[in-house]
Amino acid sequence: MSAKEADLLLRGARLLTLAPSGEERPRVGAAAGDVGAIDDGWVAAREGQVVATGRGGTWERVRLVDGATTEDVGGRVVMPGFVDPHTHLCYAGQRWDEFEARRSGSDYLAILERGGGIHATVRATREASDARLLALMRARLDRAVAAGTTTIEIKSGYGLEPEEELRHLRIIAALRSEAIVDVAPTYLAAHALPGRANGDRRAFLRSAQAVLTRVAEEHLAEAVDAFVEKGVFETEEVAPLMHEAAALGLARAVHADQLNDVGGAGFAARVEARSADHVSRASADGLRALERGGTVAVLLPGSALFVGYPPPDGRRFVAHRVPVALGTDHNPGTSPLEGVPTAIALAVTMCGLTPHEAIVAATANAAHALGRGTRTGALVEGRRADVVVLETDDERELAYRLGARLVRTVYASGQRVAEHETVR
Site residues, Fe ion (CB under 5 A): 329
CB 85, CB 76: distance < 8 Å: no
Q: What are phi and psi of 354, to 5 degrees?
A: -75, 160
- For residue 125, the SS3 value is helix
**Partner residues linked to 15 by β-bridges:** 38, 78
Which positions from 160 through 179 interact with ligand NIG, judged by CB under 6 A?
none
Backbone region of residue 299 per phi and psi (left: phi > 0; alpha: psi in -120 to 50; beta: other values): beta
Site string for ligand NIG, 280-319 (x = CB under 6 A): -----------------------x----------------
**Shortest CB 23 distance to Fe ion, Å:** 31
Report CA dihedral (251, 345, 34, 362) to the nearest 10 degrees.
20
Q: Which is nearer to ligand NIG, 255 or 408 (CB)?
A: 255
HEC string for 253-274: EEEECCCCCCCHHHHHHHCCCC
By beta-carbon proximity to Fe ion, the closer residue of 11 and 119 is 119
224 φ, ψ (degrees, to nearest 5): -120, 145
- Residue 352 φ/ψ region, left for φ over 0, alpha for ψ in the -120 to 50 degree band, beta for the rest: left
Comparing every residue's Cβ against ligand NIG, the nearest one is 333
The residue (of 6 and 188) whose beta carbon lies closer to ligand NIG is 188
Q: Which residue number, 53 or 303, has a Cβ lying nearer to ligand NIG?
A: 303
- Cβ–Cβ < 8 Å for 53, 44: yes
Q: Using the minimum distance from each CB to Fe ion, give the nearer residue, 191 or 356.
A: 191
- According to the binding rule CB under 6 A, does residue 395 interact with ligand NIG? no
Q: Which partner, ligand NIG, Fe ion, none, binds residue 409 by CB below 5 to 8 Å per kind? A: none
Q: Binding ligand NIG by CB under 6 A: which of 148, 263, 327, 333?
A: 333
* Three-state secondary structure readout of 318-382: HHCCCCEEECCCCECCCECCCCHHHHHHHHHHCCCCCHHHHHHHCCHHHHHHCCCCCCCCCCCCC
Q: How far is the CB of 340 from Fe ion (least distance, A)?
A: 15
Smallest gap from residue 111 Cβ to ligand NIG (A) = 9
**Binding region for ligand NIG (CB under 6 A) out of 27-35, 115-123, 349-357, 384-392:** 115-123
Query: Which option in Fe ion, ligand NIG, none does residue 347 bind, with CB closer than 5 to 8 A by kind?
Result: none
Binding site for ligand NIG (CB under 6 A): 117-118, 121, 227, 255, 258, 303, 329, 331-334
